[in-house]
């Protein structure tokens, strides 16, 4: 870690390999690639041939024929399909640097802080198989904190909650490292699934993963409590009653309990972590509060729930979904 941040053997590029989206950052050009972490294969990733990757695969999601299969290389923040990961990483890096011979490129990749040795080894194998040279792994909470502008190198405790699509991580940082952390597998994707399940069981209405994500994004845009109580969301899908395509208008208030169950998990994670801190770190967090990063951080109900549960100041980092990418850019520039 010190070697990476101190400028020795500097990497050429960095990869924010996320469950939902992947971003490749180059030393000289910033974010060179930003697309959904999806692949489309004929008959699966193990034996099939790649048909589409990234944004091209996104538009095919839930629209494929029986001969095609959409594959997500990562699940809950860690590698789920090594063949798909190898193909996707090769596509992402080649799209970024514009060449096929990648062995000379040194890379860094963000990983969850609680990734096991086996999970880290699988990711390194996929990166090498994709054609990359030397690869180092960095914990995402530390990288996200740098991207959010927190003073992680100082002798002052800072707290970050990284709300990703596949995992949610809370970490206390000081003196350039992680003092304590807690995580739960299941982030924004779990909320998408909960929204789809709620419509299925409570309203007899089927929606796809893309529609569930759109509903979540609409919830992000509703900031005030008054707006949340009055707004409605138009949803297109299929009725289980008529078995026909249908459009329904659903009050946002109907979805608030679903979001509340999601925020309860994050709140418990944070409260449990705060209960394990030393008195000095507790004082620092009391003085400086909590910073939220990640794609789901902008859901205002997450911030409100944490404020109620902890009594601390909670802030959403500017451009929260891109904090890991910005932190990786700082590593490259160091």
- Residue-wise pLDDT for 118-167, tens only, equals 999 999 999 999 888 889 999 999 999 999 999 999 999 999 999 988 89
Residue 25 CB contacts under 8 Å (≥ 6 apart), including other chains:
13, 14, 15, 16, 31, 32, 325, 328, 329, 332
Residue 5's pLDDT is 45
Determine how β-strand 74-75 pairs with β-strand 78-79: antiparallel
* Closest to 292 (Cα-Cα) out of 262, 327, 318: 318
Residues 6+ apart with CB under 8 A from 304: none
Question: Can you list the alpha helix ranges (DSSP code H) found in 26-98?
Answer: 55-58, 82-97
CA 53, distance to chain mean position in Å, is 18
CB atoms within 10 A of CB 248: 15
Ranges of the chain whose pLDDT falls below 70:
1-9, 44-47, 99-104, 222-229
Q: Where in the chain is the domain with CATH 3.30.420.40?
A: 2-143+324-333, 145-187+259-320
CA 87 to mean position of chain CA atoms: 20
pTM confidence score? 0.89
Taking a C-beta distance cutoff of 8 angstroms, is the pair 52, 60 a contact? yes
Neighbour tally for 213: CB within 10 Å: 20
Report the pLDDT value the prediction gives residue 4, as an integer from 0 to 100.
45
Specify the 3-state DSSP secondary structure of 163: strand
* Strand ranges for 120-166 from DSSP E: 135-139, 158-163
Residue whose structure tokens are 């180059």: 26
Q: Could you identify the residue written with the tokens 């929204």? A: 195
Residue 237: both structure tokens together = 């899908």
The yes/no answer on whether domain 145-187+259-320 falls in CATH 3.30.420.40 is yes
pLDDT at 185: 84
Cα–Cα distance, 298 to 207 (Å, whole number): 23
pLDDT of residue 155: 93
Q: What is the DSSP string of 106-130?
A: -EEEEE-TT--HHHHHHHHHHHHHT
Start-to-end Cα distance in the chain: 12
Contact 118, 125 (CB under 8 A): no
Q: Is 207 helix (H, G, I), strand (E, B) or coil?
A: coil
Secondary structure letter of residue 334 according to DSSP: -
Structure tokens at 218: 């609409």
Locate 192 and state its tokens. Answer: 């998408």
Give the number of C-alpha atoms closer than 13 A to the C-alpha of residue 64, restricted to the C-beta side.
21
Instruction: Report the topology of domain 2-143+324-333.
Output: Nucleotidyltransferase; domain 5 (3.30.420)
Contacts of 157 (CB under 8 A, 6+ apart): 172, 173, 174, 179, 277, 280, 281, 283, 284, 285, 288
**Are the C-beta atoms of residues 41 and 50 closer than 8 Å to each other?**
yes
Residues of the chain with CATH 3.90.640.10: 188-258
The 8-class DSSP code of residue 8 comes to: T
Phi, psi of 226 (to 5 degrees): -65, -40
Q: What's the pLDDT at 225?
A: 56
Place of tokens 């609680």: 114
pLDDT in the model for residue 186: 79
- Exposed (0-12), middle (13-18) or buried (19+): which is 221, by Cβ within 10 Å? exposed
Strands of the sheet containing 245-251, edge to edge, are: 205-206, 232-239, 245-251
Q: Would you say domain 188-258 falls under CATH 3.90.640.10?
A: yes
């Amino acid at each position: 870690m010190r070697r990476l941040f101190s400028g020795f053997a500097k990497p050429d590029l960095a990869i924010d390999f996320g469950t939902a989206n992947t971003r490749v950052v180059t030393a000289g050009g910033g974010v060179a690639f930003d697309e959904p972490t999806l692949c489309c294969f004929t008959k699966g990733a193990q034996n099939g041939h790649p048909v589409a990757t990234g944004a091209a695969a996104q538009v095919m999601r839930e629209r494929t024929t029986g001969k095609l299969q959409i594959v997500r290389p990562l699940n809950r923040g860690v590698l789920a399909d090594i063949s798909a990961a190898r193909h996707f990483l090769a596509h992402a890096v080649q799209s970024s640097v514009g060449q096929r011979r990648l062995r000379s490129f040194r890379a860094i990749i963000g990983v969850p802080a609680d990734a096991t040795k086996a999970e880290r080894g699988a990711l390194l194998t996929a990166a090498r198989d994709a054609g990359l040279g030397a690869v180092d792994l960095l914990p995402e909470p530390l990288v996200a904190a740098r991207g959010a502008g927190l003073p992680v190198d100082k002798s002052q405790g800072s707290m970050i909650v990284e709300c990703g699509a596949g995992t949610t991580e809370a970490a206390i940082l000081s003196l350039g490292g992680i003092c304590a952390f807690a995580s739960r597998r299941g982030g924004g994707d779990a909320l998408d699934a909960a929204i789809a399940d709620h419509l299925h069981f409570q309203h007899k209405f089927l929606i796809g993963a893309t529609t569930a994500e759109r509903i979540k994004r609409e919830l992000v845009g509703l900031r005030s409590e008054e707006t949340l109580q009055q707004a409605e969301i138009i949803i297109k899908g299929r009725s289980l009653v008529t078995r026909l395509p249908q459009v329904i208008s659903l009050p946002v208030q109907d979805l608030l309990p679903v979001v509340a169950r999601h925020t309860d998990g994050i709140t418990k994670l944070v409260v449990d972590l705060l209960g394990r801190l030393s008195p000095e770190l507790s004082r620092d967090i009391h003085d400086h509060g909590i910073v939220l990063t990640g794609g789901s951080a902008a859901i205002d109900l997450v911030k409100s729930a944490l404020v109620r549960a902890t009594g601390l100041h909670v802030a959403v980092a500017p451009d929260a979904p891109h904090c890991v990418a910005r932190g990786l850019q700082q590593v490259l520039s160091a």
